[in-house]
Structure 1
């Protein structure tokens, strides 16, 4: 039975956290890790007010061979990173135990992850590896969203749930579409890009925690 762990981890305790450290209140949101030629290429968003210092810090890191801009929209920039991957107990254990990072974001001090494992045994093995390796993960919750006692929202945050419900109720997914992304953004006082991203994450989380879990069980 698949299970999801939400945990916090000091940025200094894993390689990518050290590379992507931001100044002050800057925040980095990991979008995906794409396997290319035996290596994992991370893609991540950074808010524009932190860009200058962030780019300088990352490019000066000894493990980074290239930092490149993919796109920029509504105050956020999407980057890709080419890096020399060193031994990293945290990420190595996630990969070796077939874990899947659903969400990850952080900054100078702390990162928060939501990671799905296929079984409770895999999760237990992950926790043991972290314990044995001295990785100070702070477990915030462990849940299986297919169980009745896991709560009714299947891992959605309150903003994700409210935005997705509003979009459905107002006809965003109807044909023809009854409301625009900008109108949804205006309702929640966020940018058009933020509204699109919130809906995308909500749908990804909902499917990952329901349909994909069911398919995995089958």
Structure 2
């Protein structure tokens, strides 16, 4: 049964946190990670206040092949990072244990992660893996998204919830449509691409952690009954 866990990890405890070194007042948000062959290309939203220090630290890191500014909206910019994920001990452990990164936000000192694991055993193995790798890991809220009455957001992050609810309330899904993704982007102060990605991830996560998860659980219970 799937489980979602919130973690807090020092920025200097894993390679990507060291790569994305920024000034104390800034934050970096991981919008998504796109797998391309054996690599994973992360997309980050960075505010203009820390853009220069972000670009400088990333460009100078030997593990980074390239950094590209994808788009900008208001005072935020979206970057893609050509980076060798295999060199990062933390993300290698996530990949090996089938962990799904739902959200990540970093500051100069700390990163906060929301990660979904296929089972509680996988979560325990990840914690043990981090301990063996000397990665300091502070565990926050842990919940099972398929269990009624717990995990009321079903793994959907706050930015995703805000975007999806505003889309429904504003008529994005109405016929005829009463607002566009650009309208949503203007209201939320992010890029059109960020809105599209938030909606996609919110719908996929919500469906996986409710309809699909419940169907899988019912199928498993039916199989157990047949085997008795």
TM-score computed with the length of structure 2 as normaliser: 0.80
Structure 2 contact 170–178 (Cα < 8 Å) conserved: yes
Structure 2 contact 71–77 (Cα < 8 Å) conserved: yes
Structure 1 pair 80–157 and aligned structure 2 pair: CA distance change class (3 A): closer
Match of 2:191, SS? helix
Whole-angstrom distance in 2 between the partners of 1:13 and 1:145: 28
Whole-angstrom distance in 1 between the partners of 2:44 and 2:131: 28
Map of 1:35-114 to 2, 5 A cutoff? 35-85=35-85, 87-114=87-114
Match of 1:4, SS? strand
Q: Which residue of 2 aligns with 1:25?
A: 25
Q: Which residue of 2 aligns with 1:127?
A: 127
Structure 2 contact 72–78 (Cα < 8 Å) conserved: yes
How many residue pairs get aligned? The number is 216
Structure 1 pair 162–97 and aligned structure 2 pair: CA distance change class (3 A): closer
Worse-superposed segment, 143-152 or 190-199 = 190-199
Q: Which residue of 1 aligns with 2:191?
A: 193
Match of 1:105, SS? strand
Whole-angstrom distance in 2 between the partners of 1:178 and 1:72: 25
Question: What is the deviation of 1:179?
Answer: 4.2
Whole-angstrom distance in 1 between the partners of 2:17 and 2:35: 19
Whole-angstrom distance in 2 between the partners of 1:69 and 1:183: 22
Structure 1 pair 34–153 and aligned structure 2 pair: CA distance change class (3 A): closer
Match of 2:135, SS? coil
Structure 1 pair 215–62 and aligned structure 2 pair: CA distance change class (3 A): farther
Q: Deviations over 1:120-176 (max 9, x none)?
A: 111111111112222111111111111123143323456654553343244331011
TM-score computed with the length of structure 1 as normaliser: 0.83
Match of 2:82, SS? strand
Whole-angstrom distance in 1 between the partners of 2:183 and 2:68: 32
Whole-angstrom distance in 2 between the partners of 1:115 and 1:60: 29
Whole-angstrom distance in 2 between the partners of 1:159 and 1:78: 15
Q: Which residue of 2 aligns with 1:154?
A: 154
> How big is the alpha-carbon RMSD for the aligned residues of Structure 1 and Structure 2?
2.8
Whole-angstrom distance in 1 between the partners of 2:83 and 2:162: 38
Segments of structure 1 that go 5 or more residues without pairing to the other structure are none
Map of 1:202-213 to 2, 5 A cutoff? 202-213=202-213
